[in-house]
Amino acid sequence: MVSLVPSLTEAVAVTAPGLLVGATDWCSRPVGLDVVRIGGTKNPDVPAVAALAPDLVIANEEENRPGDLAALRAAGLRVMVTEVRSLPQAFAELARVLVAGCGVDRPGWLDAAETAWREVPVLRPRRRAVVPIWRRPWMTLGRDTFAGDLLARLGVDHVHAADPERYPRVDLAELPAADLVVLPDEPYRFTAHDGPEAFPGLPAALVSGRHLTWYGPSLAEAPEVIGEALRKAVG
């Protein structure tokens, strides 16, 4: 099997070690994963993937380009494409990939993740947050995003949730009113010294991008990890 999605790479590798033969250069989990690297999520080396002769390629409709997926299919490969824009959808797609796609038993970590999200502490009062995901240009979470759904379940509504774009470019001088800025460390690596200074007067929550944007084993820890970062920011 070849994975074109870091989240799915971790999910498969943790569940069925040895099943993966290839993954992207961005697939950093689990640490020490020893597989053939086949390029990026946006520019996979299609001939290299085909040369591995996988029985399945797993991909995502947001992270991977339709043209690359079409080229993989044209090379005779079976491609399973996921769509993840909410937590329930993430759980359903993970089960589909692992059980139907990989032919393995439903893993215990998936049950643990579902349990962890059933009853989570919610910030009171709820906060309105700006959630940048890129700088130069500034881009934020917009409508219909997995990360936005997770934050909403933890008591944080992001200010661009009704934007027509899923990841709109924004002018910081024209931001809607907010009482918090949430800064993940991926895809852009925001840090205490790179990001908060652009939002004077707003408390900044520096959060793990893996826990906010990945759907896989990290979901079992995500409510606690993200929730702690949010609580620390608002005091």
- Can the peptide bond before residue 184 be classed as cis, meaning omega within 30 degrees of 0? no
Which residues does 199 contact at the CB level (< 8 Å), separation at least 6? 130, 172, 181
Triad 90, 92, 94: Cα angle to 5°: 65
- Taking a C-beta distance cutoff of 8 angstroms, is the pair 27, 9 a contact? yes
The whole-model pTM stands at 0.94
Which residues does 7 contact at the CB level (< 8 Å), separation at least 6? 60, 84, 213, 214, 215, 216
Identify the structural domains of the chain with CATH numbers, from first to last.
2-106 (3.40.50.1980), 122-234 (3.40.50.1980)
Terminal CA-CA length for the chain: 45
pLDDT in tens, the chain (235 residues): 999 999 999 999 999 989 999 999 999 999 999 999 999 999 999 999 999 999 999 999 999 999 999 999 999 999 999 999 999 999 999 999 999 999 999 999 999 999 999 989 999 999 999 999 999 999 999 999 999 999 999 999 999 999 999 999 999 999 999 999 999 999 999 999 999 999 999 999 999 999 999 999 999 999 999 999 999 999 8
